[in-house]
Every structure is written in structure tokens, then in C-alpha cells.
């Protein structure tokens, strides 16, 4: 009788309980979003988010367990308990925020476009791309896809499962422009000189945040305080500089 009526059985389950009981922080992300999460040739996961996730797990004294998940199903994966948190460059949007809780913004980004090199001079601003004669690409279920529909309704939009397939359309000349997050586009352009041109003026504002299941104020409180700590003690800057300054 004592155990049945313990205070604990009345509290809603926090992800913190699963994490501490299992000794594992299970983190959902979709590898393929440079430089946030990538898979190396020998199958390891690396990147800005991965280093943050490892640091977070260490601060909880548990093991970091990567859960590489298709972007399209990443919120369902969180909701069904395949992971405890999404650390995956996810923009805090109102639609997503109706399904999950977000910790405070950990980085701010915006949308930009990579265009075909032969459009250089003809397309000088992202605004020029709102034209029937242009074909654009982006990744399914991303804010890039959303922005493409909103800002370029006259253009044809082709969506792909992965960002790699979507951006390849431009590098191969099958699409005129690829709409995606600025950090990804900047890095891709520097790695594929001559294949794409980066229009680096961003035309949206997107705060990225870590997502957790709803009704979990304990975990949310942990995350927001953890974020303040790493931003003030230099850990965040060290990890940021490693991936964004080179
Ligand atoms: N920031 C964009 C969004 O929230 C794209 C994120 C894509 N992330 C990824 N791992 N593919 O929709």
C-alpha cells in the first residue's frame, strides 16, 4: 500500500526519470545537416549538435546515445519515446510548438538560396526567384520548404527526403535554386566552389531549439538552465567555434 500511494506515482513522468534510470540520453537528429550533424565514413556521428548533446549527457552523468532518424518522422519518434530529446537544428515554429515543448533558442539562423552558377547576374536577390521559369528544391518537412512556398509561389518546387538529394539538383543543373538554412548553404558553397552560388542574404528569422515531449516542466527547466550555464562558462563558444569558425 505504501508504494502504491507514494508521492512519485502521482507525478507525471518526466523524461529525466527515463534518462537517469536507463543511464542514457537518447538524442534524435537527422545526420546530413552540415555542420550540425553528419555521419563519418566509418559510421560515427559528428557536428555542432552532436558535441552539444555529448556535453549535455556528460553534465547529467549519463551516456550519449545517438538516434539517427528521418527528418520527416522526427517529431513522431520523440512522441513515441524513441528518444528523449531532438537536438537537430530544429526551428521553433508555432506549428511544431503545438506538438512539442522547446527549450530556449540555442542559435538563430535564416533561409538563403544556393543558385546555379549560370544564373549569376540574372538572379541577384532571392526575390528574383519568384518566377514561373524557375524550379526550386528543398527538403520535405523543413522550414526551407515552407519558405519556398511562401516567398516563391510562382516557381516550381521539388521536395526531397534528404537535403543532400535536394541540393544535388542545383549542383547537377536540374533545379535553379535550393532553399535551405544559411549555415548549411554557406558550408556547402565553400565545399562546392563553381557548382553553386550562395545568395547569402537571409530572408527569414528562425530560432533553433531543442524539442522535448509536452508536459515536462522538469526537463525544460533543466535544459534552459543548462543552456545559460554553457553560454556563460565558455563551453558553448568553444563548441561553436570548432564547427563555425575555420
Ligand atoms: N532548420 C530547418 C527546420 O527546422 C531544417 C533542419 C533540417 N535538419 C536536418 N537534420 N535535416 O526545418
**CATH classification at residue 93:** 3.40.190.10
Q: Which atom of ligand 1 lies closest to the CA of 93?
A: 4
- How far does the centroid of ligand 1 lie from the alpha carbon of residue 12, in Å? 30
Residue 182 sits in the same domain as residue 213:
no
Q: Which domain holds residue 194?
A: 111-199
Give residue 1's pLDDT.
44
Band of pLDDT at residue 6, cut at 50, 70 and 90: low
Give residue 12's pLDDT.
61
Q: What is the mean pLDDT of residues 156-167?
A: 98
Q: What is the mean pLDDT of residues 50-65?
A: 98
Q: Give me the DSSP letters along 65-96.
A: EEEE--GGGHHHHHHTTS-SEE-S--B--HHH
Residue 133 burial (CB count, 10 A): 9
71 Cβ closer than 6 Å to some ligand 1 atom: yes
Q: Which grid cell is 44? A: 560515427
Q: Which grid cell is 134? A: 524557375
pLDDT digits (tens, 9 = 90+) for 66-102: 999 999 999 999 999 999 999 999 999 999 999 999 9
Question: Candidates 69, 139, 205: which one to mutate for ligand 1, based on the most atoms within 8 Å of Cβ?
Answer: 139
- How far does the centroid of ligand 1 lie from the alpha carbon of residue 142, in Å? 5
Residue 169 sits in the same domain as residue 52:
no
Residue 215 sits in the same domain as residue 102:
yes
Cα 69 from Cα 59, distance rounded (Å): 24
88 Cβ closer than 6 Å to some ligand 1 atom: yes
Residue 117 sits in the same domain as residue 164:
yes
ipTM of the complex: 0.97
**Strand-by-strand arrangement of the 85-86 sheet:** 63-68, 24-29, 85-86, 211-212, 101-102
pLDDT digits (tens, 9 = 90+) for 215-229: 999 999 999 999 999
Using the predicted structure, report yes or no on whether residue 7 has a pLDDT greater than 60. no
Q: Which atom of ligand 1 lies closest to the CA of 109?
A: 1
Amino acid at each position: 500500500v505504501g508504494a502504491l500511494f507514494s508521492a512519485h506515482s502521482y507525478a507525471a513522468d518526466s523524461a529525466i526519470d527515463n534518462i537517469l534510470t536507463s543511464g542514457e540520453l537518447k538524442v534524435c537528429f537527422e545526420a546530413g545537416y552540415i555542420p550540425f550533424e553528419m555521419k563519418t565514413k566509418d559510421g560515427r556521428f559528428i557536428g555542432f549538435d552532436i558535441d552539444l548533446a555529448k556535453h549535455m549527457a556528460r553534465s547529467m552523468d549519463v551516456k550519449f546515445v545517438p538516434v539517427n532518424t528521418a527528418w520527416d518522422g522526427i517529431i513522431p519518434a520523440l512522441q513515441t519515446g524513441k528518444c528523449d530529446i531532438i537536438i537537430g537544428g530544429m526551428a521553433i515554429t508555432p506549428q511544431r510548438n503545438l506538438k512539442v515543448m522547446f527549450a530556449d533558442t540555442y542559435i538563430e539562423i535564416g533561409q538563403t538560396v544556393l543558385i546555379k552558377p549560370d544564373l549569376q547576374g540574372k538572379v541577384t536577390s532571392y526575390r528574383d526567384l519568384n518566377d514561373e521559369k524557375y524550379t526550386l528544391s528543398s527538403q520535405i518537412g523543413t522550414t526551407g520548404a515552407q519558405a519556398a512556398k511562401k516567398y516563391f509561389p510562382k516557381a516550381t518546387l521539388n521536395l526531397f527526403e534528404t537535403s543532400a538529394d535536394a541540393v544535388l539538383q542545383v549542383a547537377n543543373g536540374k533545379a535553379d535554386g535550393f532553399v535551405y538554412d544559411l549555415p548549411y548553404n554557406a558550408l556547402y558553397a565553400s565545399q562546392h566552389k563553381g557548382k553553386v552560388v550562395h545568395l547569402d542574404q537571409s530572408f527569414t528569422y528562425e530560432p533553433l531549439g531543442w524539442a522535448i515531449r509536452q508536459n515536462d516542466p522538469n526537463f525544460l527547466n533543466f535544459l534552459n538552465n543548462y543552456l545559460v550555464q554553457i553560454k556563460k562558462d565558455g563551453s558553448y563558444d568553444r563548441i561553436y567555434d570548432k564547427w563555425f569558425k575555420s
